[in-house]
């Protein structure tokens, strides 16, 4: 019997035009209307028409991706497709918590809008960025970061696949890490178009500011296990979920372990719920024995149903 997990994308999956088709469904119209109200401007128009430079601003990207992901989930739910576990990559964890019944859609959009604003503001006071190292093991990247710390703070922060790790830190540390990774055989080592050192200790001030928002928000126990970014373990308790969301801002994302945990528990079909195919690509680099199907349009939902019937 097929065992399904839903996985939800984070930043970098957005694109102009996302959500336009599904916005014409009753649930799409309803949730985009709510998201526009919460954002205080037509977020829906930004998703459909751009401009791209505004959509990619983190305080816009985050509520936009959560909204599109939530609509796709509801459309799947209407077809009777339900997950046994859920997980989301960084920002995507908020989408996963909506699906799990731990966080309301309205609160999720409001929180990620604030989260994005805090991260945007952090770029003005916290110098640094991120880089991607491809083709080296996580251990090799961690070793490189330890050496590069001699010239500037740098940490492994996104364990995306067995051969892809993102690092965050100060510019000098990042540049040194890229140099060392290249010398040691990395296929690619490059700076990312990100303006802050996300998921690193340099984001401690942001985590503290966000704590107050989370503590004032109602969360419920999750109805299905949510595999947390910071632990790669299942969580259903609302207090633990709240703590994990605070820690997620300044702690690494253990995505490879998250996927491996679910596969070890019998998940054989992953559905990437929301815009893009980033997580599908990462999963193929982690374990090709399982299926991953990206879903964000009505046609792709129908395609998923046909595959599951087989």
Q: Count the neighbouring beta carbons within 10 Å of the beta carbon of residue 26.
A: 10
Give the residue-averaged pLDDT of 23-48: 98
Domain ranges of the chain: 4-124+202-309, 127-195
Nearby residues of 26 by Cβ (< 8 Å), 6 or more positions away: none
pLDDT of residue 77 exceeding 80, the answer is: yes
Note the pLDDT of residue 195: 77
Segment among 188-197, 199-208, 240-249 with least mean pLDDT: 188-197
Contact 66, 109 (CB under 8 A): yes
Q: Which are the catalytic amino acids?
A: 90, 199
Report whether 205 contacts 122 (CB < 8 A): yes
Token representation of residue 26: 């009753």
Token reading at 163: 């051969």
Mean pLDDT of all residues in 45-69: 96
Enumerate the H helices of 3-91 as residue ranges. Answer: 26-39, 43-49, 52-55, 58-78
> For residues 230 and 207, is the Cβ–Cβ distance under 8 A?
no
For the domain spanning 127-195, the CATH number is: 3.30.70.250
C-alpha–C-alpha distance, residues 269 and 27, integer Å: 25
pLDDT in tens, 268-285: 999 999 999 999 999 999
For domain 4-124+202-309, the CATH class is: alpha beta
pLDDT tier, 1 (very low <50, low <70, confident <90, very high otherwise): confident
Mean residue pLDDT across the chain: 96
At 96, the pLDDT band (50, 70, 90 cuts) reads very high
For residues 83-108, average pLDDT: 98
Confidence tier at 114 by pLDDT (50, 70, 90): very high
Contacts of the segment 146-152: beta carbons below 8 A, 24+ positions apart? 147/176, 147/177, 147/180, 148/173, 148/174, 148/176, 148/177, 148/180, 149/173, 150/176, 151/176, 152/176
Measured between its terminal Cα atoms, the distance across the chain in Å is 11
- Whether the pLDDT of residue 310 is over 80: the answer is no
Question: For position 193, what pLDDT does the model report?
Answer: 80
pLDDT tens for 167-198 read 999 999 999 999 999 999 999 999 998 878 99
Position with higher pLDDT, 123 vs 243: 243
């Amino acid at each position: 019997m097929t065992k399904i997990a839903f996985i939800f994308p984070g930043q970098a999956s957005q694109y102009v035009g996302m959500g336009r088709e599904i916005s014409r469904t009753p649930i799409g119209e309803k949730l985009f209307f709510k998201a526009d109200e919460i954002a205080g401007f037509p977020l829906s128009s930004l998703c459909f028409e751009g401009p791209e430079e505004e959509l990619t601003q983190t305080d816009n990207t985050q509520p936009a991706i959560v909204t599109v992901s939530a609509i796709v989930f509801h459309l799947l739910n209407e077809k009777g497709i339900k997950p046994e576990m859920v997980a989301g990559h960084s920002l995507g964890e908020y989408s996963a918590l909506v699906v799990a019944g731990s966080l309301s859609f309205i609160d999720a959009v409001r929180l990620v809008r604030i989260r994005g604003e805090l991260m945007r503001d952090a770029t003005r006071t916290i110098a640094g960025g991120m880089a991607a190292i491809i083709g080296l093991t996580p251990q090799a990247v961690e070793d490189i970061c330890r050496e590069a710390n001699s010239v500037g703070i740098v940490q492994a922060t996104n364990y995306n696949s067995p051969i892809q790790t993102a690092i965050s830190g100060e510019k000098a540390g990042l540049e040194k890490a890229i140099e060392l990774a290249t010398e040691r055989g990395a296929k690619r080592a490059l700076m990312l178009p990100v303006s802050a050192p996300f998921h690193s200790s340099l984001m401690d001030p942001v985590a503290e500011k966000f704590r107050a928002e989370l503590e004032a928000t109602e969360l419920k126990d999750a109805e299905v296990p949510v595999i947390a970014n910071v632990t790669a373990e299942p969580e259903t308790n609302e207090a633990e979920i709240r703590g994990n969301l605070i820690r997620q801002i300044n702690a690494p994302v253990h995505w490879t372990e998250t996927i491996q945990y679910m596969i070890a528990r019998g998940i054989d079909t992953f559905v990437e719920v929301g815009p893009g195919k980033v997580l599908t690509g990462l999963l193929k680099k982690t374990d090709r024995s399982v299926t991953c199907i990206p879903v964000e349009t009505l046609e792709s939902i129908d395609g998923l149903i046909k595959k599951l019937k087989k």
